[in-house]
Chains A and B, each alone.
Chain A
Amino acid sequence: MELIRDLVVQGAQMLLVVLLAPLVTGVVRKLKSRLLRRQGPSVLQPYRDLLRLIRKDVVLADNASWLFRSAPYLIFSTTWVAAALVPTFATGLMFSWSADLIAIVALLGSARFFLALAGMDVGTSFGGIGSSREMMIAALAEPVMIMIVFVLALLAGSTQLSTIAAYMVSPAVGLRVTLGMAFVSLLMVGIAETGRIPVDNPATHLELTMVHEAMVLEYSGRHLAVLELAGSLKLLLYLSLIACLFLPWGLTLPDASAWMYGIGLAAYIAKILTGCGALALFETAIAKMRVFRIPTFLGAALMLGLLGTLLLFVSRGF
């Protein structure tokens, strides 16, 4: 019985993230349009785009290799597995112990590795630009992520997301400046990693500063659909990660009753929608940075993370 319930929760979670991901993209786009006083496409538009793309032929460059054709599926599945291991509405997932926070970050790293390779496969200068910049941004974002993991692991005594989330809802947390700093630096890393304004612009194709769009330039048809879905999934993953780590209220703990799961689900959706709203507002209010301002941006995030670690050492209990 236990096992079945755990399996159901895990399965529901996997399906939930993949079904919800295009909606998140749609909501952010809609809100951004409304903030700019435009009507904007329907929030369901990403679903329609995906269906349309899936049905189309793939137009493949003459010299595209097997790596180019298999990369989208690899990227998608790696991102999906990572997203499925982040607690969304309930902790105590069946397989959450198969990868901790470091492994989830590294799984995203695998996806990025193949995306960067796919960008270089055909041998165009746009693809090369995208890959090279993506790797630079990732290289600067990763140390920040490790500092955040360090802070959380130090507080919660674990790198398992379920355990950290359970610790964060407990009253033992208290009021800590360190957590605030970790929160802000996680936001900054999330923005950089998901390629949002001010680091990258998800809306344009032809801008010299583009990163993600440059890598997927040669893709079409079902391959593009899978990559788009993977992109949305990554955005949802970061939103869920932030929600699970820093806004864990309403998260269903293990061995709760059925209606608790309902509450958990409602709270999760509310949190994600709030996140979308905040993101849309932030993106509308801020301008895109020059590429070589990004190191300073991420450097500031790293300083926050380091400072948070230092402050943690002098605070209560350490």
Chain B
Amino acid sequence: MHGIAFDVAHLLAGCLVLVSFLMLYQDRLYSLLNTYALHATVLFLSVAWQAYIQNAPDLYVTAGIALVFKAIIIPVALHRMIVKLGIHREIETVVGTGPTMLAGMGLVGLSLVVMLHAAAGANLMAREDLAFALAVILLGLLIMVTRRNAVSQVVGFMSLENGLILAAAGAKGMPLVVEMSVAFSILIAFIVIGIFLFRIRERFDTVDLQALDRFRGERQ
């Protein structure tokens, strides 16, 4: 039982890292959103599996939130938003895909080394879960750093948050209240960002962050 439990948890967490890489590889907004939906689905599976093997019913709620909000509602809403705003559908990257993915590779290696050192005392499952979670968080940050488009930055931020949830699910016994509050904060962040996007669009006719910098007077 333990072998299979570990293998499946490992498989799902590994898939989450992989999907983060897929998000780095995308060059269209729609496909990025679809990949994000996949990311959330994998997170749902992963958390549900943790709930099953830890026998923790409250984790099922987390999993449900992940599925309903992150895999369905938010992608659909963002889809609509893109259509409504008429946002340019290609993602403009700061660096090329190849170097970005190499950097991502380095980040994954870094997070593995750090976590395996730092959490040497913890049990195997929690340790590898934490390592993967850190990798997902760093990759999310990388997406935010290397993308010019505001929508893709939002997606990067949400994938980062998925990493947090993964870490929380792996480290047994995160109270449901904290969990709920995290989920709601994300929702609120999403709404705020959405409103901002509309406002920005109304004002400046674009959501390209470079254009925003220009209006702030940082770049001539």
Contacts and interface: CB of A to CB of B under 8 A. Distances in A.
A50 interface: no
A311 B21 CA distance: 13
Q: Interface size for chain A: under 10, 10 to 19, 20 to 34, or 35 or more residues?
A: 20 to 34
Nearest to A173: B7
Contacts of B201: none
A299 B108 contact: no
Interface stretch (B8-16, B57-65, B175-183, B189-197): B8-16
A299 B98 contact: yes
B217 interface: no
A177 B98 contact: no
Centre residue among A176, A181, A313, A314 by max chain B CB count within 10 A: A314
A316 B124 contact: yes
Contacts of A41: none
A154 interface: no
Contacts of A4: none
A134 B6 CA distance: 43
B18 A299 contact: no
A35 B15 CA distance: 32
B21 A303 contact: yes
A177 B4 contact: no
A175 B108 CA distance: 21
A16 interface: no
B101 interface: yes
B112 A313 contact: yes
B121 interface: no
B101 A299 contact: yes
Contact of A311 (B6, B14, B104): B14
A175 B109 contact: no
A282 B112 CA distance: 35
A105 B60 CA distance: 47
A313 B6 CA distance: 14
Interface in B119-135: 124, 127-128, 131-132
Contact of B17 (A180, A300, A307, A313): A307
Contact of A299 (B97, B109, B124, B131): B97
A296 interface: yes
A285 interface: no
A73 B4 CA distance: 50
Contacts of A315: 10, 128
A176 B18 contact: no
Nearest to A184: B18
Contact of B7 (A175, A311, A313, A314): A175
A177 B105 contact: no
A178 B7 contact: no
A116 interface: no
B7 A306 contact: no
Interface string A288-318: 0000000110011001101100110111100
Interface in B1-31: 3-4, 6-8, 10-11, 14-15, 17-18, 21, 25
A314 B131 CA distance: 8
A192 B185 CA distance: 46
Interface in A173-219: 174-178, 180-181
28 contacts: A174-B4, A174-B7, A175-B7, A175-B11, A176-B7, A176-B10, A176-B11, A177-B14, A177-B18, A178-B14, A180-B11, A295-B98, A299-B97, A299-B98, A300-B25, A303-B101, A303-B104, A307-B18, A307-B21, A310-B109, A314-B10, A314-B116, A314-B127, A314-B132, A315-B128, A316-B3, A316-B6, A316-B124
Given A174-B4, A303-B102, A310-B109, 14 more contacts: A176-B7, A177-B14, A177-B18, A299-B97, A299-B101, A307-B18, A307-B105, A311-B10, A314-B10, A314-B116, A314-B128, A314-B131, A316-B3, A316-B10
9 nearest A-B pairs in the assembled complex, by CB-CB distance: A177-B14, A175-B7, A177-B11, A314-B128, A303-B101, A311-B14, A299-B98, A174-B7, A306-B105
